């Protein structure tokens, strides 16, 4: 099995959002303190002796802090690069979207988020750059706003709004690939999750479908294009739920799930779901995979088709003073070369293939892969800009297959509910009643 190690970047505040540049080794972290940090990193694996990372004690082997700033008065809830990588959009609990230069971090323009129909304010939850012309924003009130981004300056008002898509906050936005009939080859359709449902929307028509109540909170989503499902010809949405479950939805059949994938035990929330494309991992060559970031601090890789957990990355390393349960995976991102970053608590881990260990264990890995294949055949189915010292990096823990049973004691479920409520309380703070423009930054 390929051995992956990680370098750590530690912060004084929990990390809410990660964004990876579409064509350069550049990534951004948004914090609960409202700070935004942007780093460059090497295109090759750093030296094994480099150690962990901080932006005050020196960065090893090509890592550099490009810029940092306190971008929002409150938490930075979401960050995303434009498709061409020239612009970084961030959204914060101050009810503002800010548009900034990727290279300098200087704010170009900003816009206030429109209030909801039932409140004098509404705060953002998720940003997604759907196309070079369309920026999507989800809010606490369950509304989706669409902004026209063809002008260098962000429009002060959204071009379109779709209110009350969900009864609770928008927990995720995922694009659907363009259909065969598309003449622009640009995505115009997407899904959202919130409360306990999934919604299907088109930027030209609004809401087209909504799923049945899934009887559990829908927390995250991603879309895997053709190559999954019966015959490998379907496109599916994978939705992270509570209690260690991922629901799969067939494109065009949004009423209810078509598959239920159990990846962890009861009481573990699946807070992040992404397509898994980590460079150097043989699992990527064996079939399409997703990676699920969970509230227990582990990122689980699931090979689709067999729907088995084949690898686990352990975020671990809770910073001193953090409470138990605060180091769950909050975001996952992949850069343009397929390198993976995971955020949990106040630490971002950057994963890379340990070439030395991998070469030493190559023959053993081949035997393990063969044994695993045989088994599958048998089954057939803050205000301060300073950073605190980071925790010591850990290797991924050995994977222990999760039980497929839903049975668990009540206490585990209670802890999960309390953790989820606390996380939402921190992330979805009430926005100020009035928004004042006191300068671009």
Q: Determine whether 151 is exposed, middle or buried from the number of CB atoms within 10 Å of its CB (0-12, 13-18, 19+).
A: exposed
Say if CB 329 and CB 340 are below 8 A apart. Answer: no
The least confident of 184-188, 285-289, 389-393 is: 389-393
Q: Which pLDDT band holds residue 1 (cuts at 50, 70, 90)?
A: low
Q: Where are the beta strands (DSSP E) in 241-367?
A: 245-250, 259-262, 270-275, 289-294, 298-303, 308-314, 329-334, 340-344, 347-353
Q: Which pLDDT band holds residue 121 (cuts at 50, 70, 90)?
A: confident
As a whole number of angstroms, the distance between CA 215 and CA 202 comes to 25
As a whole number of angstroms, the distance between CA 25 and CA 46 comes to 14
Tens-digit pLDDT profile for residues 79-105: 999 999 999 999 999 999 999 999 999
As a whole number of angstroms, the distance between CA 226 and CA 223 comes to 10
Among residues 262, 39, 293, the alpha carbon closest in space to that of 172 is found at 293
Note the pLDDT of residue 76. Answer: 97
Mean pLDDT, residues 29-55: 73
Note the pLDDT of residue 269. Answer: 95
Note the pLDDT of residue 109. Answer: 93
Report the DSSP beta bridge partners of residue 40: 26, 64
Domain residue limits, the chain: 15-44+57-164
Tens-digit pLDDT profile for residues 348-397: 999 988 765 555 555 554 555 555 455 444 444 444 333 333 444 444 43
As a whole number of angstroms, the distance between CA 210 and CA 399 comes to 36
Residue 46 CA: distances (Å) to CA of 52, 62, 207, 333 = 11, 8, 46, 19
Name the pTM for this structure.
Answer: 0.79
Mean per-residue pLDDT of the chain: 79
84's tokens:
């061409």
The residues near 394 (Cβ < 8 Å, ≥ 6 apart) are 6, 314, 316, 317
Looking at the domain 15-44+57-164, which fold is it?
A: Methylamine Dehydrogenase; Chain H (2.130.10)
Report the DSSP beta bridge partners of residue 28: 19, 38
Greater confidence, 366 or 315? Answer: 315
373's tokens:
């294949």
Residue 62 CA: distances (Å) to CA of 28, 42, 82, 362, 414 = 16, 5, 25, 28, 44
Backbone angles phi, psi at 111, to 5 degrees: -145, 145
């Amino acid at each position: 099995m390929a051995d992956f190690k990680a370098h750590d970047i530690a912060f004084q505040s929990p990390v809410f959002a990660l964004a990876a540049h579409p064509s350069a080794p550049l990534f951004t972290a948004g914090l609960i303190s409202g700070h935004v940090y942007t780093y460059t990193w090497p295109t090759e694996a750093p030296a094994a002796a480099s150690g962990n990372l901080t932006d005050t004690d020196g960065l090893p082997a090509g890592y550099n802090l490009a810029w940092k700033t306190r971008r929002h008065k409150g938490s930075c809830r979401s960050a995303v690069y434009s498709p061409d990588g020239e612009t970084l959009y961030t959204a914060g609990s101050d009810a503002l979207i800010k548009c900034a230069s990727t290279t300098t971090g200087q704010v170009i323009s900003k816009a206030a988020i429109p209030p909801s129909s039932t409140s004098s304010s509404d705060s953002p939850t998720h940003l997604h750059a759907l196309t070079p012309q369309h920026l999507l924003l989800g809010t606490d009130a369950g509304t989706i706003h669409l902004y026209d981004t063809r002008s260098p300056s962000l429009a002060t008002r959204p071009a379109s709004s779709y209110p009350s898509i969900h009864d609770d906050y928008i927990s995720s936005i995922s694009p659907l690939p363009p259909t065969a009939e598309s003449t622009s080859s640009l995505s115009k359709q997407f899904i959202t999750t919130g409360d306990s449902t999934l919604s299907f929307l088109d930027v030209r028509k609004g809401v087209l479908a909504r799923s049945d109540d899934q009887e559990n909170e829908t927390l995250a989503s991603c879309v895997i294009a053709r190559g999954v499902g019966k015959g490998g010809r379907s496109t599916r949405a994978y939705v992270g739920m509570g209690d260690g479950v991922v629901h799969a939805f067939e494109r065009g059949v949004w009423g209810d799930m078509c598959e239920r994938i159990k990846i962890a035990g009861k009481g573990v929330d699946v807070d992040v779901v992404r397509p898994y494309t980590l460079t150097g991992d043989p699992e990527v060559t064996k079939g399409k995979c997703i990676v699920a970031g969970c509230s227990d601090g582990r990122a689980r890789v699931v090979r689709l088709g067999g729907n088995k957990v084949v690898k686990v990355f352990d975020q671990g390393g809770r910073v001193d003073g953090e409470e138990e349960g605060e180091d769950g995976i909050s975001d996952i991102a992949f850069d343009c070369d397929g390198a993976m970053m995971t955020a949990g608590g106040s630490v971002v881990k950057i994963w890379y293939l340990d070439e030395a260990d991998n070469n030493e264990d190559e023959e053993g890995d081949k035997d393990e892969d063969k044994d695993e294949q045989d088994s599958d055949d048998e089954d057939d189915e803050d205000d301060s800009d300073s950073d605190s010292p980071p925790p010591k990096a850990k290797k991924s823990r050995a994977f222990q297959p999760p039980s497929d049973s839903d049975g668990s004691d009540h206490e585990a479920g209670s802890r999960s509910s309390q953790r989820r409520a606390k996380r939402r309380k921190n992330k979805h703070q009430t926005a100020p009643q009035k928004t004042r423009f006191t300068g671009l930054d």
